[in-house]
C-alpha cells in the first residue's frame, strides 16, 4: 500500500507525468505542501483547498526549486510544467522561477493557471516568458463559476474574463483554454462558449472530463496522474462523466464552428 500523503516527503519537483495534452512533463510546484488557490473546484484532484486565497506571496524560495530540479538532470522530458499544489501565479517569485528554470534546463516551460491573476501586470509579465499557457475556463457566467470553481471573494466571471482577454492580446506563446465538461451542455451554454472562443481565439481548446477520483481531503500525490481504476490509500469521490457520445458531439461542434483545434479526453479516452 502507498504511503499516506501526510508522511510523504515534500519535493517541489514531481513526475515526470504522462500528459495526454503535453506528452512527458516534469512538474514544478511553486506553492508547497499546503494547497493554496484562488479557486476550490468541485473536481480538484488535490482534494479540498487548504488555503483559499488570492494573496501572492513567496511560498517556495526559487533556490529550493532550482536545487531540487538539478537532481533531475538531464531533464529528458517534452515540457516543464508549473502547477502543483494550487494556483502557480500566486507565487510572487514566479518571474524569477521561470527565468532561472529556462536557463538551467533549456526546456519549454508551460504554466497551468485558472486565470484569476492574468489581469495583474506582474503576473502578465512573468507569464510572457513561458512557451505555453493553459487557462482554465469552466464557468461561462458568475453563477456557474461560483458553483463549479468556487473563487475567493471579489472574483466574478467578468473580472476574470477581462483579464484573460487582455493577456491573450499581449501573449506571444501558445495559448490554450482548458474546460472541464461536467454535465451535458444545454444549447445556450454551448452557444455562449462558442462565442467566447471566437472572441478569444485561443491556439487550442482542451476539453476534459473528471475521470480522476477527487480526494476528500488534501493529498499531495494528487499533483501526479492516476486513473479511476487505481486504488488510493485514502477516501476519494468519483464524479460522474457524460457519455463519450455526448462529449464527442460537444467537441465536434466547437471545432467545426470555431475552426479552432480541439483536443479532448472523455471517459473512454485515456
pLDDT tens-digit readout, 1-29: 233 344 457 899 998 888 888 889 999 99
Look at residue 161 in the predicted model and tell me its pLDDT: 97
* Distance of alpha carbon 190 from alpha carbon 252, whole angstroms: 12
Domain extent at residue 18: 5-265
Is residue 53 included in any domain, yes or no? yes
Residue 235 has a pLDDT of 75
pTM of the model: 0.89
In whole angstroms, how far apart are CA 131 and each of 9, 80, 82?
Answer: 30, 10, 12
- Specify whether the CB–CB gap between 35 and 41 falls below 8 A: no
Tell whether 187 is covered by a domain: yes
For residue 148, the model assigns a pLDDT of 95
Residues 80/49, Cβ–Cβ less than 8 Å: no
- The confidence score (pLDDT) of residue 26 equals 94
**270 falls within a domain:** no
Q: What is the pLDDT of residue 2?
A: 31
Say if 170 falls within a structural domain. Answer: yes
Name the grid cell of 67.
536545487
3-state secondary structure 90-113: HECCHHHHHHHHHHHHCCCEEEEE
Q: How many residues are recorded in the chain? A: 270
Could you say which residues of the chain have pLDDT below 70? 1-8, 219, 221-222, 224-233, 266-270
Answer yes or no: are the C-beta atoms of 262 and 203 closer than 8 Å: no
CATH number of the domain residue 87 falls in: 3.20.20.70
Asked if 234 and 4 count as a contact pair (C-beta separation under 8 A), the reply is yes
Strand blocks (E) in 212-258: 214-215, 236-237
Stated as kind and residue range, the H or E segment containing 148 is helix 142-148
For residue 74, cis peptide bond before it (omega within 30 degrees of 0): yes
What is the structure's pLDDT at 57?
A: 97
Q: Are 94 and 129 in contact (CB under 8 A)?
A: no
Number of folded domains that form the chain: 1
CA gap 64, 209 in Å, rounded = 34
Residue of 41, 23, 45, 25 whose CA lies nearest to 111: 25
Q: What are the helix and strand counts (H, E) for the chain?
A: 7, 12
Q: Give dist(CA 23, CA 79) in Å, integer.
A: 7
Amino acid at each position: 500500500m502507498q504511503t499516506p500523503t501526510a508522511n510523504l516527503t515534500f519535493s517541489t519537483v514531481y513526475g515526470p507525468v504522462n500528459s495526454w495534452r503535453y506528452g512527458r512533463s516534469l512538474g514544478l510546484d511553486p506553492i508547497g505542501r499546503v494547497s493554496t488557490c484562488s479557486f476550490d473546484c468541485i473536481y480538484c484532484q488535490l482534494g479540498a483547498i487548504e488555503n483559499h486565497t488570492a494573496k501572492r506571496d513567496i511560498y517556495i524560495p526559487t533556490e529550493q526549486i532550482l536545487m531540487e530540479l538539478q537532481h533531475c538532470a538531464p531533464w529528458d522530458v517534452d515540457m516543464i510544467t508549473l502547477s502543483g499544489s494550487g494556483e502557480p501565479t500566486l507565487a510572487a517569485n514566479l518571474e524569477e522561477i521561470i527565468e532561472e528554470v529556462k536557463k538551467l534546463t533549456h526546456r519549454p516551460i508551460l504554466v497551468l493557471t485558472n486565470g484569476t491573476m492574468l489581469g495583474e501586470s506582474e503576473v502578465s509579465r512573468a507569464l510572457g516568458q513561458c512557451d505555453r499557457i493553459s487557462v482554465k475556463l469552466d464557468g461561462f457566467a458568475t453563477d456557474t463559476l461560483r458553483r463549479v470553481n468556487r473563487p475567493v471573494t471579489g472574483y466574478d466571471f467578468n473580472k476574470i474574463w477581462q483579464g484573460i482577454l487582455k493577456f491573450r492580446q499581449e501573449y506571444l506563446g501558445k495559448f490554450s483554454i482548458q474546460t472541464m465538461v461536467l454535465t451535458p451542455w444545454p444549447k445556450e451554454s454551448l452557444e455562449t462558449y462558442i462565442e467566447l472562443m471566437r472572441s478569444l481565439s485561443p491556439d487550442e481548446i482542451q476539453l476534459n472530463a473528471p475521470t480522476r477520483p477527487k480526494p476528500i481531503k488534501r493529498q499531495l500525490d494528487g499533483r501526479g496522474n492516476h486513473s479511476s481504476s487505481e486504488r488510493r490509500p485514502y477516501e476519494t469521490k468519483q464524479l460522474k462523466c457524460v457519455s463519450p457520445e455526448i462529449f464527442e458531439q460537444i467537441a465536434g461542434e466547437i471545432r467545426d464552428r470555431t475552426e479552432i483545434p480541439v483536443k479532448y479526453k472523455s471517459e473512454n479516452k485515456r
